[in-house]
Structure 1
C-alpha cells in the first residue's frame, strides 16, 4: 500500500480497532511471528513511545547524537501492527511505558487531529467515551496496561512510568541501560539527557514528525506539552 495515499478510517480485527492502513492479513499473521528472548520494545499509544525510542537509540549508539540522528526515527523502529515499507524488526527486550490515563487520553485526542488517516472527533466527550470503552485504534488502554503491569516482574520486561521519566529522567535512563545490558558512563549521560530533553526532541526533525507525510503538524505539534 502506498504510504502517501492511505485510505481514511478504521476497522476491527479480532476485537481490536486498527487504522485502515493495517491489513487484516498482517494481524492474522502476527501469531506466527518468531519471537526471541531479546525481542521487542513496546508502549501503549501516546504514553512516551517516541521518547523511549530516542533514549534507546542513544544508548544503542553509545550516546553518539550524530549516529542517532542519521536516520528518521520511523526507519529505526517498527510498529509490528502496521506494515510499512523498508522497516525491519529490531530485537530488543520488552520496555513498556505506562502513562496515566487522563494525560494519555488528552494526547491521543489531539493525535487524532494530526494523523491524516485517523478519524476525527467533533467533541472531547465523544472521544472520551470511545477511550473508556476501548473503542479506539490500538485497543483498550485499560486491558493493555493491566496486562503489562501483571508482567512487570518478568525478567524480560521493564515496566516504566512516564511520570517517572518526567521527574527523574536520569534514573530511568540508567534503569533502561542496565536492563538492556548497555552500560552508560557518567561522561555520556549528560549528552543523552540533553538530546532526549523535551525541548530538544520537539525541535529535532528526525523525531518530531514535522516531515512525516501522514502527520499534519501545522496546527498542532506532535510534541505539545510533554
Structure 2
C-alpha cells in the first residue's frame, strides 16, 4: 500500500509508520493524534535482527554480533535509532502526542490502556478494560490471526513467527561482555544531551542473591533495577514503574539521598527554608507527613499479614504498605518528597520540572550508620557483625546499592539549575553556610537573626531530640530498638574498621572514583 491508496481510506484512518517525525508531514502534530512507542535499543536490535533473519523481503545473513555493529553504526533501515526516538521525545508534551515505552506496555498494560483512553477522550468500564487487557495479553495477542501475519509464514515470506517473544530485557541472552560495554558507551553518548531515559530492566532474582545467613527472618528474593543494577526486594518491582511514571509539579521539591546520608536533617532544613521558617508548623507536624518517603514500601521484604489486631509491628507494616506514589499524587502543593531512589529510577523529567536537593556522605560513615540502623530495626531485619555487612555493602548487596553509581548519577547533574548537590560533611561543619546556599537556590531571603534561629533549631543535639523528626513513636511501638537519629558524627567509621577493612575500603573507593572528579570532603 502506498500514500495514494491511504488517501482514499475512509475516516477515521489509523496509519502505521516507522518514519521519524522529521520526515512525516510538518503539520502532523497540529492535525492528527500520534502515539509513539520507544523501546530499549538493545532489545530493538535483537528483535530486528531475528525479524530480518526470518524475512524474505529484507534478507539478511550472518550472526547477531556483526548486525549489532551495523545497528550502532546507523546502517540499518530507518536508523539512526536515537535521533528517531529523540525527535519524538522532544514532542512528548504536545497535546496531540502520546509517548509510551514498550517496557510500560509489557509491565503495566492496563495502566497504558487507561492513559491512552484518556488521551483519546474515551471512557470505558472496568469490565471493558478487563476484556481489553485479556485480548491484548501477549500469548493471546501472539495467537491472534488478524495481527500475527500467519499467512506470511504459510506463503514462505517469513520463516518464523512475526510476533516473537515480547520479552523486555531479553537482549542479555545475546550480548557478550564486550557488546554490553559497547552498548553502555553508545547509549551514554547518545543520551548525554537529553533527559530521555529508558524504563529500567528488571533482572531476575537469581542475579541478585544476598547471603541469606546474614539477614534474619528472610522470606524473599531480590531484583536489580536499571543499567546499574540497583538492589531491591523482589516485591518492589510492582511499585517501581509507578515511581518512574509519577506525575510531577513545578512546585515539587525532592530530597534525594542514599540511605543514612543526612536525609532527615536535610528534609527539615529544606522544608523550613521553603516554608518561611515556620518552626511551629515543623514541630507540630511529623516529618513523615510534611515530606513523605516516596518508596517506603521498598523496605518491606514481605507484605503485611495482620492476623492479630494487637500486633503493632504488622499494623506498622500495613501503614507503610499503604504509602505509594498514588497517595503522594493527591497531596496539595507544594509537595516535599523524600526518596532514596537514584536519579535514573525517578521520573525522567525530574530535573526539568522540580527542585532537587541531593545529599552525599562518605561511604564508610554511610555503611556504619546503615548497619546500626538496620540492626536496631524490625522492618529491615539484620543479624551478624559489621565486618561481613561491610563486605555486602561493597558488593552492592544492600538496598538501594550500588552506592557509587547512586552518587555519581547525581554528581553528573550537580550543575543543573534545579539541582543542589551537598555533602553531609558540609552540613556538619558549616550548617549556616549550607543553609544560605540552599536559601539562594530556592530564591528565599532571610535576616541574620532568622538564619541564627534556623541554625539553633537544626543544631544536632536539638535536632536529635525533636519529636517531629526523630521517629520516637517507632521505639514506643517496638519498631526500632535504638534512636532513629544516631551520632551524626563525621569520620566515625574509624572506630569500626580494622586495618584490613581500611585498606579494602581505600582500594574500593579509588577504583570507583577513577572515572570521575567526585571527591568526598576530608574528615578529621
Instruction: Give distance in 1, aligned partners of 2:268 and 2:219.
Output: 29
Q: Which residue of 1 is the match for residue 270 of structure 2?
A: 56
Instruction: Give distance in 2, aligned partners of 1:223 and 1:31.
Output: 29
Aligned CA distance change for structure 1 residues 131 and 9 (closer, same or farther; 3 Å): farther
Q: Which residue of 1 is the match for residue 242 of structure 2?
A: 29
CA contact 1:95–1:158 (8 Å) conserved in 2: yes
Q: Which residue of 2 is the match for residue 193 of structure 1?
A: 455
1:169 aligns with 2:431: yes
CA contact 2:375–2:382 (8 Å) conserved in 1: yes
Instruction: Give distance in 2, aligned partners of 1:53 and 1:175.
Output: 15
1:74 aligns with 2:288: yes
TM-score, normalised to structure 1, is 0.86
Cα deviation, 1:123-166, whole Å, max 9, x if unaligned, reads 21211111111111122111101111111111111110111111
1:114-193 mapped onto 2 (5 Å cutoff): 114-193=376-455
Aligned CA distance change for structure 1 residues 185 and 143 (closer, same or farther; 3 Å): same
Instruction: Give distance in 2, aligned partners of 1:149 and 1:173.
Output: 20
Aligned CA distance change for structure 1 residues 112 and 177 (closer, same or farther; 3 Å): same
CA contact 2:355–2:418 (8 Å) conserved in 1: yes
Instruction: Give distance in 1, aligned partners of 2:382 and 2:269.
Output: 31
Structure 2 unmatched runs, 5+: 1-216, 298-319, 337-353, 489-524
Instruction: Give distance in 1, aligned partners of 2:428 and 2:445.
Output: 21
CA contact 2:283–2:467 (8 Å) conserved in 1: no
Cα deviation, 1:97-125, whole Å, max 9, x if unaligned, reads 11001111100010111221213130212
Aligned CA distance change for structure 1 residues 214 and 80 (closer, same or farther; 3 Å): farther
**May I ask how many residue pairs the two structures share in their alignment?**
217
Instruction: Give distance in 2, aligned partners of 1:76 and 1:9.
Output: 32
Mark the structure with the bigger radius of gyration.
2
Q: Which residue of 2 is the match for residue 205 of structure 1?
A: 467
Instruction: Give distance in 2, aligned partners of 1:62 and 1:13.
Output: 40
Q: Which residue of 2 is the match for residue 45 of structure 1?
A: 259
TM-score, normalised to structure 2, is 0.39
The structure with more helix, counted as a fraction of residues: 2
Instruction: Give distance in 2, aligned partners of 1:183 and 1:153.
Output: 22
Coordinate RMSD, CA, aligned: 2.3
Instruction: Give distance in 2, aligned partners of 1:145 and 1:37.
Output: 24
Higher RCO (Cα < 8 Å, 6 or more apart): 1
Deviation at 1:70, TM superposition (A): 1.5
Cα deviation, 1:8-56, whole Å, max 9, x if unaligned, reads 6663252433357x64321132221123455422111100000001111
Cα deviation, 1:153-185, whole Å, max 9, x if unaligned, reads 111111101111111100000111111122222
Instruction: Give distance in 2, aligned partners of 1:214 and 1:155.
Output: 43
Aligned CA distance change for structure 1 residues 194 and 138 (closer, same or farther; 3 Å): same
